[in-house]
Amino acid sequence: MLDHFGFYVRDAEKSLAFYRACLAPLGIEVVQVQRGGKAMIFQRGGERCFLWLGETGGEPRTANPGRSPIHLGFEAASTAQVDAFHAAALAGGGTDNGAPGWRNPRVYGAFAFDPDGNNIEADFRPG
């Protein structure tokens, strides 16, 4: 359904390092660097949908990133990927918002706040 999604961040250095660290264990990598390193496109190999993140340029519609926090949930292929996501998120400048664990019998997940206060999640749902 989605082709891509994106949002602005306050500090590209902090936020892009956070996303690069915590998405790598999920197989989601930087595929393009834009705006002199102030924006990046992240994508999982072979998938069409991508995530664009970039530092605001000060224009009115992007002047207040993080003011209305969002929630992003990413699919993981295993519990080990969820664990690695969470560890990388905390090491990459995020803060804990829910340690890895079973949320119900069908979902193993973890949560972290990114540097702008957005709630980022990784979930594994066994077949």
Per-residue pLDDT reduced to its tens digit, 61-89: 565 666 657 889 999 999 999 999 999 99
Note whether 37 and 9 are within 8 A (CB): no
CATH at 22 = 3.10.180.10
Q: What is the largest CA-CA distance in the chain?
A: 45
Name the average pLDDT for the chain: 90
Overall number of domains in the chain: 1
In a domain, 63, yes or no: no
Structural domain boundaries, residue 36: 4-57+72-124
- Per-residue pLDDT at 35: 87
Residue 2 confidence (pLDDT): 72
Q: Is residue 29 part of a domain?
A: yes
Q: What is the pLDDT of residue 8?
A: 86
Helix (H) or strand (E) holding 71: strand 71-75
For residue 36, pLDDT over 80 is answered with yes
Q: Is 40 a member of any domain? A: yes
Domain-embedded: residue 111: yes
Residue 8 lies in a domain: yes
| 28-34 and 95-96 beta bridge pairing | unpaired
Q: To the nearest 5 percent, what fractions of the chain are helix, strand and coil?
A: 25, 40, 35
**Mean pLDDT in residue range 24-34:** 96
Report d(CA 112, CA 96) in Å as an integer: 5
Pairing state between β 4-9 and 50-55: parallel
Examine residue 89 and state whether it is found in any structural domain, yes or no: yes
Residue 67 lies in a domain: no
Residue 64 in any domain: the answer is no
